[in-house]
Each structure stands twice: as structure tokens, then as C-alpha cells.
Amino acid sequence: MTQQRVVVRPVADRPSVSRSPRPRLTMTRRQALWCYVFIAPAVLGLLLFSLGPMIASLGLSFTSYDMLTSPIWTGTENYGALFADPIFRKSLGVTLIYGVVSVPATLVIALVLAILLNAKLPGLKFFRSAYYLPSVISGVAVAMVWKWMFNGEYGLVNAALAKVGLQGPAWLTDEQWALRALIFMSLWGFGGTMLIYLAGLQGVPKELYEAARVDGASTFRQHLHVTVPMLSTVTLFNLVMGIINSLQVFAEPFVLTQGGPNNSTLLLSVYLYQNAFEYLKMGYASAIAWVAFAIILVLTLLVFRSTPMWVHTATEDDR
């Protein structure tokens, strides 16, 4: 029998020996565990920075809260005051007009340009980038540029109109034109919507266009009867996002007009901001936020309810 060399290793180096075997996680459980680990930051972020403040704001909407002192429970007083507030009603009207005009207009422009940019023509990459560029620029920077462009005396818009013999209005200081100017400006940011349409266009089967052509359809009819229905799910997404965004737009009216003249551009988010941070009425502002949320919810539900009438869902039969 050979003598074995005994090496004494420090305790820390010794391999741990489990006396009783640890229960091993099944593959499914291990996957579930890792899944929770990976989604934890997002879930925590959602709970802490979105859901938590949302619930807090819901609670605050039933209080009188000035941020300087503790909130005081007032029940539904804020909501009652809201519907009796003529400025809130005006703000709601302005927001709805803004949404009703800007959302469909953006969708149409984005779709038309996406179709044009989907063609195989030289220089397309440049145009795709150029059209998308405004979407990645900060809203405040965009608003500052447009403030100059809309200047009644020295702005580019009126200078261009003057070239064709038209006298442009005082875009941002005239009550009749200020909201139109904001809507016009909003169309400039169609890039994001266009990009989604462009992605959607890649998935439209070419055979459908060929079949339409065989049937004698013009280019316009091909798009009307093939592109539009085939992109209806994309349109649904863009429409819902557009509705949500139109009720939340803030930077542009805040920088350009601060809600004026005569509250003609007082979009809900600007009125909310004024109440929260200028008038110290955080409870009231929270109520405005929840009314806006309810409007978004109702409009979104209405859009979803209407989908059987206009959204084409691809089935096996289609293929």
C-alpha cells in the first residue's frame, strides 16, 4: 500500500460537501426564476415610477393639495368643479379639435409618404432619413424652430406666402390661427408613424398587387383595395397611439403659445401643468389627468369596438 500524501487545504478552499442533496430546480422553474430576474427592473420601474404615481395621483384627485402642505380629502369636489370650469371645457374642446384634425391628417400623410418611399427609386434612403429626422428631435427644439417660422413679421412661412402674393396671418398671436398653426406643426412629426407604415408595407404580399393589376386596377385602386386593408392593423396601432399622443401633447403649445391667445391653444396638458405648478392646485390637476385618462380609455375602446368594421385580420384563407 502506497502512502498517500495528505494535503491539508484551508477551509475556504475545500469543496463544500452537502450532506443532504439540495432539491434541484426543474428546468421550468429555473427558467421562470430567470424570467422574473430579468423582468424585475422593468416591473419595479413600472411599479415605482408609473403605477405608483398613477395611484397616488388618483388619490390626490380627491383631495385639495397644494404641494406645500398635506393633502386634505375633499371627495369628488375637484371633479365637480372641473365640469363647471369654463376654461377646462374650452381646453377639452381645443384638445379634441387638435386630435380630430391632427391624428387623421398625420395618418394620411404618413401612409402616402410610406407608399412613395417603399418604391424602388434612387435616393430613397436619404428621403427616409430626412422624413424621419423630425421625430428624433426634441419637441422643445422643434417648437423653437417653428416659433421663428411662424413669426408674423419675419417668419419663413409668411415670407413664402408673400412670394405667391398672399399675406400670411399672425400665426401665433391671432386666436383664429394659433391652433391651426399648432396642428400644422404637429404634421411635421409624422416620421414615426411613417416608419411603422413602411415596416407594414414590407409584409404586404406582392401577389395581391399582381392579381389586382391582372384585374385592371390602377395604381390608386391597388393601394385603395390592397394596401389600405392590408395595413389596417398598422393603422389601428397608429390611430390608438395618435389618440393617446394628441391628448398628451405639451412641449409645443407650452413653448409656442403658453395656451394663448385667449386660451385658443390651451391643450389639456398645458392646463393641467398650469394648475399643478403655477396655481398650486395639484389635486385639481390630478383630476384633470384622470379625466384625460378616461377620455383616452373610452376613445381607445371605441376604436377597438369599431375594428370589425375596418380592420382586416389576415387568415389562412387569405394566404
Partner 1 sequence: MSNTTVSRRTLLGGLTAAGTAGLFGCSGNGSGSQPAPAPAPTGTAVVGKTNLDIYAWTNGPTIDANFRKRIELFNREHAGKFTAKINFLPYDQYWQKVQLQYAARKPFDIYYWDVQAYAHYKRNLVFNEQPVIDNTPMMDDKAYPTKLYEPWKFDEKNLFCVPENIQSMAMFYNRSHFDQAGLDYPDETWTWDKVIETAPKLQKSAGGKVTRWGLDIGALGIWWGIQALAWAAGTAFVDRPLEPTRFQMTDPKVVESMKYVQDMMWAKHIAPRPDERAGIAQNNGGFASGAYSMIADGTWNIASFQQMKDEWAMAPLPKYQGNSIAPYWLGGWVIPRQSAALTAAQTFATWSATDFQPQMAKDHDWIPLQNAARQSQDMLRGMPEGFDAAMKNLENARIGDIYTANMQQIFNEVYGTNFEQLLNNKLAPQAAAQKMQDAATKLLG
Q: How far is the CB of 99 from partner 1 (least distance, A)?
A: 23
Q: Which of 298, 248, 272, 249 is nearest to 82 (CA)?
A: 272
| Residue 307 cell numbers, joined | 375594428
Residue with cell 409618404: 113
- Residue 160 lies near partner 1 (rule: CB under 8 A): no
Closer to partner 1 by CB, 198 or 282: give it: 282
Q: How far is the CB of 188 from partner 1 (least distance, A)?
A: 20
Contact 79, 159 (CB under 8 A): no
Radius of gyration of the chain (CA): 29
Closer to partner 1 by CB, 74 or 233: give it: 74
Map the footprint of partner 1 across residues 164-223, applying CB under 8 A. Answer: 170, 172-175
- Residue 102 lies near partner 1 (rule: CB under 8 A): no
Of 79, 96, 134, 152, the residue at the interface with partner 1 (CB under 8 A) is: 152
Q: Is the dihedral of CA 209, 210, 213, 214 positive or negative?
A: negative
Map the footprint of partner 1 across residues 18-57, applying CB under 8 A. Answer: 47, 51-52, 55-56
Backbone angles phi, psi at 216, to 5 degrees: 85, 20
CA distances for 180 relative to 111, 174, 265, angstroms: 22, 10, 9
Q: How far is the CB of 148 from partner 1 (least distance, A)?
A: 7
Residue 94 CA to residue 158 CA, distance in Å, equals 24
Q: How far is the CB of 285 from partner 1 (least distance, A)?
A: 12
Q: How far is the CB of 31 from partner 1 (least distance, A)?
A: 15
- Residue 139 lies near partner 1 (rule: CB under 8 A): no
Map the footprint of partner 1 across residues 64-93, applying CB under 8 A. Answer: 64-73, 87
Of 37, 125, 153, 165, the residue at the interface with partner 1 (CB under 8 A) is: 153
Q: How far is the CB of 19 from partner 1 (least distance, A)?
A: 22
The Cβ-side half-sphere exposure at 255, using a 13 Å CA radius, reads 18
- Residue 59 lies near partner 1 (rule: CB under 8 A): yes
- According to DSSP, residue 12 is labeled G
Closer to partner 1 by CB, 116 or 294: give it: 294
Contact 282, 290 (CB under 8 A): no
Map the footprint of partner 1 across residues 259-298, applying CB under 8 A. Answer: 260-263, 274, 277-280
Closer to partner 1 by CB, 52 or 205: give it: 52
In 10 A of CB 155, how many CB atoms?
19
Q: Give me the helices (H) in the chain, please.
A: 27-45, 52-60, 77-83, 86-117, 124-136, 139-149, 156-163, 178-187, 191-202, 206-214, 219-222, 228-230, 232-246, 251-256, 268-273, 282-310
- Residue 154 lies near partner 1 (rule: CB under 8 A): yes
**Contact residues for partner 1 (CB under 8 A)?**
47, 51-52, 55-56, 58-60, 63-73, 87, 147-148, 151-155, 170, 172-175, 260-263, 274, 277-280
